[in-house]
């Protein structure tokens, strides 16, 4: 059966012809750079393998999934809500051109983009999409061969419990609570969810930098240029150390590659994994009780620090550019979709500059 999609890239209209000069002047803007950078056909194929909506509510052909995914990117790059995005597309020649909409065509309804985002979440496609985008970026020498970095960042939710925190809260780096204290947290969680409607019941408290935070944790693997390779989302009380190995598994990191991380990841299990898989150990050393760092360990940490800071710049850039670091939605799965989408948006935003710097160099 041949599926029918709304056509977005054939037959130039009279209005399009009148605006062609303005389009040509915009050839070097960011959205055009993205279109030149990415072959959207594999992205379409990947989504269409699982996304089977072929008609809208009134029986008309469904929108092309690339148009819908590009809408998600625009929403992320420009920090727009679903409703604001719909309005902006109808007002913006640049947005319409990027989406392949003709001048007489209007934006899909805001509810359409909401349902599409939910479908990507339910179908578990986001991690595969990140991998596909990165596969294409690797053709432009954006790869992990020079080294990879591991770190985590909090993503707080506004949908937090009210009242005083009456439980022992996990520390950001390591959860050293007893099983009884962890069970008390789950009882507390059930109670606060009943007391305040709208509380994000999958989020958790964590104690970091002398403050309590409620939400999730984004564990990331990047290359040395800060391009995100993999994302794992957990509740905020999940220890960073526990996600070190899962981040590396399945990441196709060549043997001999250096894996850099701060001292919070220093433990025998993580170092043993690196040795077993023939990866260079770039985890910073941590002083132990009754054992200070040697001068050699201090110098090694000093050498690792500036390189490892690239991943912190990635987190900071996502917060500044896209207002990331705060949950837009409730629940672990939807927050993971947000985290991965922000990572794809960041990679596409950052890559043209990296390519330009490499060509100049």
- DSSP string across 75-109: HHHTT--HHHHHHHHHH-HHHHHHHT--TTPPPPP
Residue 75 lies in a domain: yes
Q: How far is CA 290 from CA 265, 287, 299, 329, 350, in A?
A: 20, 8, 20, 45, 44
Do 168 and 251 belong together in one domain? yes
Do 224 and 333 belong together in one domain? yes
DSSP reduced 3-state for 118: helix
Number of domains in the chain: 2
Residue 7 lies in a domain: no
Helix ranges (H only) for 174-276 are 179-195, 244-248, 268-276
Within its chain, how far is the Cα of 254 from the centroid?
23
Q: Over 60: is that where the pLDDT of 17 sits?
A: no
What is the spatial distance between Cα 200 and Cα 215, in angstroms, rounded to a whole number?
Answer: 8
Do 118 and 146 belong together in one domain? no
Do 118 and 197 belong together in one domain? no
Q: Over 60: is that where the pLDDT of 191 sits?
A: yes
Do 311 and 224 belong together in one domain? yes
What's the pLDDT at 25?
A: 54
| pLDDT, tens digit, 9 for 90 and up, residues 259-300 | 999 999 999 999 999 999 999 999 999 988 888 999 999 999
What's the whole-model pTM score? 0.89
As a whole number, mean pLDDT of residues 125-144 equals: 92
What's the pLDDT at 173?
A: 77
Residue 21 lies in a domain: yes
Residues 270, 241: contact at Cβ < 8 Å? yes
Residue 128 lies in a domain: no
Do 217 and 328 belong together in one domain? yes
Q: Over 50: is that where the pLDDT of 212 sits?
A: yes
**Percent of the chain having pLDDT more than 90?**
73
As a whole number, mean pLDDT of residues 324-340 equals: 96
Do 63 and 157 belong together in one domain? no
Do 223 and 296 belong together in one domain? yes
Residue 325 lies in a domain: yes
Q: Over 60: is that where the pLDDT of 14 sits?
A: no
Do 74 and 209 belong together in one domain? no
User: Can you give the residue range of the structural domain that contains 119?
Assistant: 14-123
As a whole number, mean pLDDT of residues 167-184 equals: 89
As a whole number, mean pLDDT of residues 241-261 equals: 96
Residue 135 lies in a domain: no
Residues 156, 327: contact at Cβ < 8 Å? yes
Q: Over 50: is that where the pLDDT of 154 sits?
A: yes
Q: Over 60: is that where the pLDDT of 337 sits?
A: yes
What's the pLDDT at 98?
A: 96
Do 174 and 102 belong together in one domain? no
Give the DSSP H/E element, type plus range, for residue 150.
Answer: strand 148-156
What's the pLDDT at 12?
A: 56
According to DSSP, the residues that pair with 188 across neighbouring strands are none
Q: Over 50: is that where the pLDDT of 313 sits?
A: yes
Do 51 and 198 belong together in one domain? no
| 15: confidence class by pLDDT, cuts 50, 70, 90 | low
What's the pLDDT at 230?
A: 98
What's the whole-number average pLDDT of the chain?
Answer: 89
As a whole number, mean pLDDT of residues 182-189 equals: 92
Residues 129, 340: contact at Cβ < 8 Å? yes
Do 75 and 161 belong together in one domain? no
Domain at 191, CATH number:
3.30.420.10
What's the pLDDT at 274?
A: 98
Q: Over 60: is that where the pLDDT of 5 sits?
A: no
Residue 263 lies in a domain: yes
| 110: confidence class by pLDDT, cuts 50, 70, 90 | very high
Token couple for 168: 């022992």
Q: 2 vs 209, which has greater pLDDT?
A: 209
Helix ranges (H only) for 230-279 are 244-248, 268-276
What's the pLDDT at 54?
A: 60
Q: Over 50: is that where the pLDDT of 4 sits?
A: no
Residue 205 lies in a domain: yes
Choose among 268, 231, 272: nearest CA to 130. 231
Residues 202, 331: contact at Cβ < 8 Å? yes
| 327: confidence class by pLDDT, cuts 50, 70, 90 | very high
């Amino acid at each position: 059966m041949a599926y029918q999609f709304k056509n977005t890239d054939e037959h130039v209209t009279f209005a399009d012809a009148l605006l062609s000069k303005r389009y040509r002047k915009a050839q070097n803007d960011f959205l055009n750079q993205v279109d030149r950078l990415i072959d959207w056909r594999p992205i379409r194929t990947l989504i269409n393998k699982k996304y089977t909506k072929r008609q809208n509510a009134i029986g008309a052909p469904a929108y092309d999934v690339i148009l819908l995914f590009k809408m998600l990117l625009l929403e992320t790059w420009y920090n727009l809500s679903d409703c604001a995005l719909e309005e902006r597309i109808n007002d913006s020649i640049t947005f319409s051109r990027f989406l392949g909409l003709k001048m007489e065509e209007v934006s899909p309804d805001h509810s359409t983009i909401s349902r599409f985002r939910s479908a990507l979440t339910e179908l578990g496609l986001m991690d595969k999409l990140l991998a596909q985008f990165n596969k294409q970026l690797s053709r432009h020498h954006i790869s992990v061969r020079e080294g990879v970095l591991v770190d985590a960042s909090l993503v707080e939710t506004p949908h937090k419990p009210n009242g005083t925190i009456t439980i022992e809260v996990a520390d950001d780096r390591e959860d050293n609570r007893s099983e009884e204290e962890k069970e008390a947290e789950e009882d507390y969680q059930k109670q606060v969810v009943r007391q305040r409607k709208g509380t994000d019941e999958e989020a958790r408290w964590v104690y970091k930098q002398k403050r309590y935070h409620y939400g999730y944790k984004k564990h990331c693997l990047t290359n040395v240029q800060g391009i995100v390779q993999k994302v794992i989302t957990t509740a905020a009380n999940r220890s960073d150390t526990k996600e070190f190995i899962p981040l590396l598994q399945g990441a196709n990191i060549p043997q001999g590659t250096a894996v850099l991380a701060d001292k919070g990841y220093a433990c025998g299990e993580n170092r043993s994994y690196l040795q077993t898989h023939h990866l260079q150990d770039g985890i910073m050393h941590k002083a132990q009780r009754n054992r200070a760092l040697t001068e050699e360990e201090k110098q090694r940490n000093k050498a690792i620090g500036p390189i490892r800071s690239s991943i912190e710049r990635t987190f900071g850039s996502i917060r500044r550019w896209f207002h990331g670091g705060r949950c837009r939605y409730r629940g672990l799965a939807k927050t993971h979709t947000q985290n991965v989408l922000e990572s794809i948006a960041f990679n596409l935003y950052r890559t043209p500059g990296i390519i330009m710097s490499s060509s100049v160099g």
